[in-house]
Amino acid sequence: MIRLVPRDQTSAAWQIATPLLAVLATMIAGGLLFAIMGYDPLAAIRTIFWDPLFGPAAGYSRPQLLVKAAPLILIASGLAVGFRAGIWNIGAEGQYIIGGITGAAVALAAYPAEGMWIFPAMVLAGALGGWAWGMIPALLRNWFGASEILVSLMLVYVAQRVAAWMAFGPMKNPEGYGFPGSRNLQQYPAASNPELIAGTGAHWGVVAAAAAVLAIWFLMSRHIRGFHIRAAGLAPRAARFAGVRPETLVAFCLGLSGAFAGMAGLFEVAGPAGQITDKLGTGYGFTAIIVAFLGRLHPVGILLAGLLLALTYIGGELAQLTLQLPAATVQVFQGMLLFFLLGFDLLTRFRIARRIAA
């Protein structure tokens, strides 16, 4: 018989090693799964993690790394702030969708006008849309004690229905021959989010993600609000005695994460996605939760974790094309990664000991 005994002190080295061990364990478990399914495990792992960077298709895949990583890093940066305070926003996917809708609404309302003000107004509208959607669980928690986990998650499905309604209704392209979906913003120069440096995949969403990493680092390490967030996460009762108002913190954290997710949605709609459709949700809001925890809720860690998870997206798509792996490969990998990360995390706070028989 064994039991878990709390550690007197958490090892900093173990905390750094845990994400690396989780990635290694995911590769091993994923390889075993592929072998059971009848695929070459080594070829599958190489295709997912190596070929997008150094394989024959690397010329196309490398620029896509930034395209996929930017929304993950931007959303995860906002989520990490709340998670550090013990405020659990699980509905970033819904805030991502609403941000894309509100940002695109500005462009569609302005069409066909031209002007440098249109795209900044879209970014602002996207941030405000995500912020407003994030404030719904914040207000319900502050006023009625509702769980922000359940409320934010349920609002994802509401946002998906809103996107479908917009695609088939108010935002439907009048020149689209009856097909659902808005105008393609990539064909509207004032509202598009093009590649800034040819061949890199970098667009304004990448710039925003980099700025978010720096802003969160400054907030958490140099600002009094960051101290309040850390204090609330480590010792909520002590934080109250130190003058931290829980209601204010809930509104700040959920509003900030919602705004970041909303901007990510706008950059996606104005860039790679191009339009509002009934399939606007990409799963980035959920994957960003894994990014935040894999990155240890630290800005630098989130940056690296975002690039890694983006690699699984690109590698998974490549594996589907070249090896005919199932489309759910990416979700399976990401799920296993979170599972192993949580499992190894348990060992950072507890050690395994033998139970002495009475």
Per-residue pLDDT, 254: 97
Q: Would you give the end-to-end CA distance of the chain in angstroms? A: 12
Comparison of pLDDT for 239 and 195, the residue scoring more:
195
Q: Mean of the per-residue pLDDT values for the chain? A: 89
Per-residue pLDDT, 196: 86
Comparison of pLDDT for 63 and 83, the residue scoring more:
83
The pLDDT of residue 253 is above 90? yes
326-348 CB burial, b ≥16 within 10 A, e <16: eeebbebbbebbbebbeebbeee
CB 267 within 8 A of CB 124: no
Per-residue pLDDT, 171: 92
Helix axes 299-323, 41-49, angle to 10 degrees: 130
Average pLDDT, integer, range 24-47: 89
pLDDT per residue as tens digits for the range 219-232: 999 899 988 898 88
Tokens 């989520």 correspond to what residue? 79
Per-residue pLDDT, 358: 54
Per-residue pLDDT, 7: 76
pLDDT per residue as tens digits for the range 319-337: 888 888 887 877 888 888 8
Per-residue pLDDT, 260: 98
Burial degree of 313 (CB within 10 A; 0-12, 13-18, 19+): buried
Distance in angstroms (rounded) separating the CA atoms of residues 341 and 347: 10
Give the rounded percent of residues in the chain with a pLDDT score beyond 70.
Answer: 99
Lowest-pLDDT range of 2-11, 45-54, 60-69, 173-182: 2-11
Per-residue pLDDT, 178: 79
